Amino acid sequence: MAAGLVAALATPRAAFAWPDQPVKLVVPFTPGTGPDIIARYVAERLSPKLGQPVVVENVAGASGNIGSQQVARAKPDGHTLMSSVNTLVMNPSLFKTLPYDPVADFAPLGLSAWGSLVLVAHPGQKPSTLAEMIAAAKAQPKTLTYGSPGVGTPHHLSMALVETAAGIELVHVPYRGTAGAVQDLLGGQIGYMFLPVHVSAQHIRAGKLKAIAAGSPQRLPQLADLPTLSEAGLKGVDVDMWYGFFAPKGTPADVVGRLNKEIAAILDAPEAKAAFEAQGLIPATSTPAALGEIVARDRARWADVVAKRGIQPE
């Protein structure tokens, strides 16, 4: 009997009939973003599995920090979850003070998707390959320009990683959002940019942009002839964006396990692939531990990029 009691205490379990109320799924970004698209797709299918409404709530602001803080401070009872993206682990290096710790304050539930970025250029840029771009940047440092939706965005840090790996210096032109940056890229006011594959592919096919390299570890089905960064000369470099689900730290292990199982079943269904691909996403699943490893690894990777490029935190 004593041994049984010790075993029970050693395995955290929900001490209640979970879920016994609606589940709130926080998205720390605006509607229509990747984490929001994923959250709404999963919430609709997760509700009947849990027997409770799963309500998506957008809590946007401060690069995802406001919503993330809300989840980090929520009661760890399985009724507050979060759909997030890899900016979660970039933010500690980009803000002088952060009201949460992406490793210590969250219980990973599992991956939800991968999103790929493509390095593109205005057709008027003479360097047409990654090797040519790197050679031109080395010959004349700080002359080639690239845009991003803002300082510290994945688009910005992806190019910063390329600069670090290639040993080059480019000129970063930050914008307030993606629309203005894309408009100036199409108009030739800036030369290069990382864009999501579903955005870049349409402009590439129309001849309005030229493709330089895929930011993914493997070639993209939408642009099968395009080499990856690694294939183009930057060995081992990729800038894929990951998406995942989280709960507050301390959420019972059986709740984490149940959520992981139910969400994985939704994302592994054939219809998820078609729905996600239309948004430039690839559904993905993992164990909670595997997502935890990705979080820890990427936090260190992007902190290194921010430090080496001298990117100043806000």
Q: What is the pLDDT of residue 2?
A: 47
In the prediction, which pLDDT does 40 show? 98
DSSP string, 37-64: HHHHHHHHHHHHHHTS-EEEEE---GGG
> Identical fold at 17-114+241-309 and 117-214?
yes
| Tokens 């490029």 belong to residue | 309
Q: Round to whole Å and give the CA distance between 54 and 149.
A: 31
Apex CA 74: angle with CA 68 and CA 79, to 5°? Answer: 105
Q: Are 78 and 255 in contact (CB under 8 A)?
A: yes
Q: Determine the pLDDT at residue 264.
A: 98
Beta strands in 168-238 (DSSP E): 171-174, 192-196, 210-214
Res 314: pLDDT: 62
**Segment (H or E) for 118:** strand 117-121
**Domain positions in the chain:** 17-114+241-309, 117-214
What pLDDT, on the 0 to 100 scale, is given for residue 280?
84
* Token duo for residue 220: 């993209």
Chain centroid, CA 104 distance in Å: 19
Q: Could you read off the pLDDT tens digit of each residue along the chain, which spans 314 residues?
A: 444 444 444 444 444 589 999 999 999 999 988 999 999 999 999 999 999 999 999 999 988 999 999 999 999 999 999 999 999 999 999 998 999 999 999 999 999 999 999 999 999 999 999 999 999 999 999 999 999 998 889 999 999 999 999 999 999 999 988 889 999 999 999 999 999 998 899 999 999 999 999 999 999 988 999 999 999 999 999 999 999 999 999 999 999 999 999 999 999 999 999 999 888 899 999 999 999 999 999 999 999 999 999 998 66
Tell me if 118 sits within 8 A of 209, measured CB to CB.
no
pLDDT in the model for residue 16: 56
Closest CA to 243 of 106, 87, 84: 84
CATH number of 17-114+241-309: 3.40.190.150
**Cβ contact 239:158 at 8 Å:** yes
Q: Which of 42, 18, 33 is nearest to 246 (CA)?
A: 42
| CB contact burial 191-213 (16+ within 10 A = b; e otherwise) | bbbbbbbbbbbebbeeeebbbbb
Residue 53, preceding peptide bond in cis (omega within 30° of 0):
no
How far, in Å, CA of 8 to CA of 13, rounded? 8
Q: In sequence order, which residues have a C-beta less than 8 Å from that of residue 93 and are 6 or more positions away?
A: 302, 303, 306, 307, 311, 313
Q: Which CATH fold would you assign to the domain 117-214?
A: D-Maltodextrin-Binding Protein; domain 2 (3.40.190)
* Greatest Cα-to-Cα distance within the chain, rounded to the nearest angstrom: 77
| Selection from 292, 271, 243 nearest residue 111 by Cα | 243
